[in-house]
Amino acid sequence: MSCSITCLIPVYNEGHRLLQTVTLLKTIPEISNFLIIDDGSTDNGLTLLREKYPTIPIIQLKKNLGKSTAVRAGLSQLKTDLTLLFDADIRGLKPAEIQAGIRSLQQNPSISMLIFRRLCSPLIARLIRADIMLSGERIIQTSTLRAVMTQSPPPVQYAMEPALNQYCLDHQSATAWSPASTYNTYKTLKLGLWRGLLGDFITMIHGAQYVGWYNYLTQITSFCRHKVATI
């Protein structure tokens, strides 16, 4: 099975990291389209991107409204069967790992969502399975993404990943994970130690409050246990 894929990248003040991420992803032939959603950035990240890739479509929001809102703003522009969600600040990206995951999903069309497990996440993240549950790198059927992002109430701020997880659990949709060497640029590096730690805590709280604490704990214990694709 061969399905077209759009890579959707929400971004907020990531500077040169956005260009670095897109440049690596552009080497993956299975990705047919790119869409950047700028969530009210005030830095030069878009300027750098436009200089090298002037044809990549960009949607610019007037103010910072959060990751979930940014992704929702791009839904109307998605014309492909599958969407690859990708964070702009990723480090350790190996295109071959992403390509392997894409091919595994194409060979297993029953899978509604494939998550790239961040193998280089800190130990505490792996213990609570945030390396899978909160991974921003995932391929999802575009129809599923639309259903989740337009439900009432819609996920806001950093609740998108737990909301996608819960939708798949509730609808008994097949999910799987694929290994990846990716990891985020830690908030402690971007914001400082205490603001960064607070940001990580708020991210978890947003997700748990949206899906409910019981469902959040269920995700930790039973969500997305099937592995596919190894290099």
Task: Please give the Cα distance from 80 to 143 (Å, whole number).
Answer: 10
Indicate if the pLDDT at residue 72 is higher than 60.
yes
Q: Measure the N-to-C terminal CA separation of the chain; round to a whole number of Å.
A: 20
The C-alpha angle with vertex 158 and arms to 215 and 164, in degrees rounded to 5, equals: 50
Spell out a b/e string for 161-187, using b for 16 or more CB atoms within 10 Å of the CB, else e: bbbbbbbbbeeebebbbbbbbbbbebb
Distance CA 27, CA 96 (A): 9
pTM of the prediction? 0.91
User: Could you report the per-residue pLDDT of 165-213, keeping only the tens digit for each?
Assistant: 999 999 999 999 999 998 876 554 555 555 656 666 777 888 999 999 9
Mean pLDDT computed over 129-154? 95
How much of the chain exceeds pLDDT 90, in percent? 76
Cβ-contact 127, 67 below 8 angstroms: no
Q: What is the pLDDT of residues 54-68, one digit of tens each?
A: 999 999 999 999 999
| Cα 3 to Cα 161: distance, rounded to the nearest angstrom | 23
CA-nearest of 85, 120, 117, 91 to 5 is: 85
For the segment 76-124, what is each residue's pLDDT rounded down to a tens digit?
999 999 999 999 999 999 999 999 999 999 888 899 999 999 998 888 7
Of 77, 79, 139, which Cα lies nearest the Cα of 109?
A: 139
Quote the pLDDT of residue 188: 45
pLDDT at 185: 60
List the domains of the chain with CATH numbers.
Answer: 5-222 (3.90.550.10)
Q: What was the pLDDT predicted at 132?
A: 95
What is residue 1's predicted lDDT score, i.e. its pLDDT? 45
Question: Over pLDDT 70: what percentage of the chain?
Answer: 90
pLDDT of residue 163: 98
